[in-house]
Amino acid sequence: MTAATRGPQLSRLIIPAIIWFFALCGLASGVQAASCPGENLVRSAAASFAAAKRANSAAAFSAAIGRYADANALALYALGPYRKNLPNSRRAAYLSQTRAYMGRFMKKHSHRIVQTNLKVVSCSGGIIKTSNGEREISWKVSGGKIRDVGSGGIWLAVQMRSKFVRIIRNGGGDIQAIFEMID
């Protein structure tokens, strides 16, 4: 082996070793590895919500919800005992309209949206507790999706279900009442 052929051969071995070493140290991407499963998901979602807040866009909130949360499961859970009354022919429209409703709701309440400077306080059993210095937010995470978000003991899924069920009940049990509210 000559010096001319040894150089390219060594660089093929050394460069991957250096990249592997820096990746192990968390320096290759400039980001440290997450301390718990789901942390990167929560941070990415919070950054998307903060960007939607800056854009002042309900559509951006809806897109972030669709990307990071299990919006369909949340929408179906919100129907409570009236879920069985949702006709299959209206299911897709309901899910789409509910996601848009959530985006409008988040835009309206965007002054409460967590900024991207989240600190993970604890991580246990699929619940990631974070703080932005002002308030603590808990995130239920599983299967690569956010299942629920809560603060001060109030969880989004429970609040949404309470509101949706009340509206349907006040509408005489007619599922159309929820379509009128989310439209």
pLDDT number for residue 47: 87
Range of weakest confidence among 19-23, 54-58, 105-109, 159-163: 19-23
Alpha-carbon distance 180 to 103, whole Å?
Answer: 16
pLDDT number for residue 105: 87
- For the residues 67-79, what does the mean pLDDT come to? 95
Span 150-168, pLDDT tens digits: 888 889 899 999 999 999 9
Query: Is residue 58 within a helix (H) or strand (E), and if so which, with residue range?
Result: helix 58-68
Highest mean pLDDT: which of 21-30, 40-49, 80-89, 112-121?
Answer: 80-89
Q: How confident is the model at residue 15 (pLDDT cuts 50, 70, 90)?
A: very low
Cβ-count burial 17-55 (b if 16+ within 10 Å, e if not):
eeeeeeeeeeeeeeeeeeeeebbebbbebbbbbbebbee
What is this structure's pTM? 0.74
pLDDT number for residue 114: 54
Rg (the chain; Cα; Å)? 22
Q: How confident is the model at residue 41 (pLDDT cuts 50, 70, 90)?
A: very high
**Is residue 74 within 8 Å of residue 81, measured between CB atoms?**
no
Span 108-146, pLDDT tens digits: 888 766 565 778 899 998 999 988 777 788 999 999 999
pLDDT number for residue 9: 41
